[in-house]
Amino acid sequence: MTRRLIVTGASGFVGGSIVCQAGDAWEVHAFSGREPPIRRDGLVWHRLDLLEPGQVTRAFHELRPNAVIHSAAIADIEYCQTHQDEAWRVNVETARLVAELCREGGVRLVHVSTDTIFDGEKGGYREDDAPGPVNYYGQTKLAAEAAVVATAVNWAIGRLAIVMGLPFFGRGNTFLPKMLVALKEGRQVGVPQAEIRTPVDVVTAGRALLELAGNEFQGRIHLAGNEVVRRVDMARRIAAHVGFSPDLIVPNDPSVIPGRVARPRDVSLDNTVARTTLKTPMRELEDAVDLVMRTKMGN
């Protein structure tokens, strides 16, 4: 029996992965403020404004979904810092509204969160470790988590590590496409030296979120790769793996970049819960790069 799934933020980087990878088991209803970038059987595109509660409520009541993946958010850290009212409305208030509608309709909710809710002082964060965001984006995502927990009944929160990959459509909010362009042109790419992450690829992230939409897991879960790496080493390994000189990747000190907002130093995530709970495998870096390239080429 086909189940009905709403995906908010469907035209975004992670949302696009979810929409494009949802199989025949789902009738997908994509919520976005943009025109549909793709059309296919089993996908219905709804152009609406998530900041208009009436539009969202009407759509929920008409569709009566089985599950919702709420991936809509402003993920640009600098923009959130300088547009705090807008960031709060988009990142927190829409999450609260979606959680309320899911509770009223008895709908499964999968909320997409981030590693940036942690302060980065220790790394290896588990799901029950205390958060402490160092920028406003992280504050909004932490507040959104709290709204989901306080409001929804049947919920899961998928915290994503830094997401690596190529967008299924559009440009996406990700470093890899820009890095590949620069490498092809023989230009150096500056990458933060001190920041440590557990990168997850966008294909795996989309598959894991879809799996969560269809299962009964309740709680927070860290969707992260299997390796803890410095961002500069991650970029060098990717460059070498796809045939470019890793010497084109140069470490930089992001603290001297004008206007760059503080990031946590080490928000590596412990993915034990994901590895032992989900059928979707978490991956090593080169394996993740191969998966991204194969999926993009076949898309």
Q: What is the pTM of this model?
A: 0.96
Identity of the amino acid at 66: N
Identity of the amino acid at 215: N
Q: Are 152 and 103 in contact (CB under 8 A)?
A: yes
pLDDT in tens, the chain (299 residues): 689 999 999 999 999 999 999 988 899 999 999 888 888 889 999 999 999 999 999 999 999 999 999 999 999 999 999 999 999 999 999 999 999 999 999 999 999 999 999 999 999 999 999 999 999 999 999 999 999 999 999 999 999 999 999 999 866 678 999 999 999 999 999 999 899 999 999 999 999 999 999 999 999 999 999 999 999 999 999 999 999 999 999 999 887 778 889 999 999 999 999 999 999 999 999 999 999 999 865 55
Per-residue confidence (pLDDT) for residue 233, from 0 to 100: 97
Per-residue confidence (pLDDT) for residue 169, from 0 to 100: 83
Name 258's Cβ contacts closer than 8 Å, sequence gap at least 6. Answer: none
- Pairing between strand 67-70 and 26-32? unpaired
Per-residue confidence (pLDDT) for residue 298, from 0 to 100: 52
* Dihedrals phi, psi of 156, to nearest 5 degrees: -140, 145
Give counts: helices (H), strands (E), the chain.
Answer: 11, 13
Per-residue confidence (pLDDT) for residue 58, from 0 to 100: 97
69: left (phi over 0), alpha (psi -120 to 50) or beta: beta
The CATH classification of domain 3-167+198-226+267-283, taken from the options 1.10.1270.20, 1.10.10.10, 3.40.50.620, 3.40.50.720: 3.40.50.720
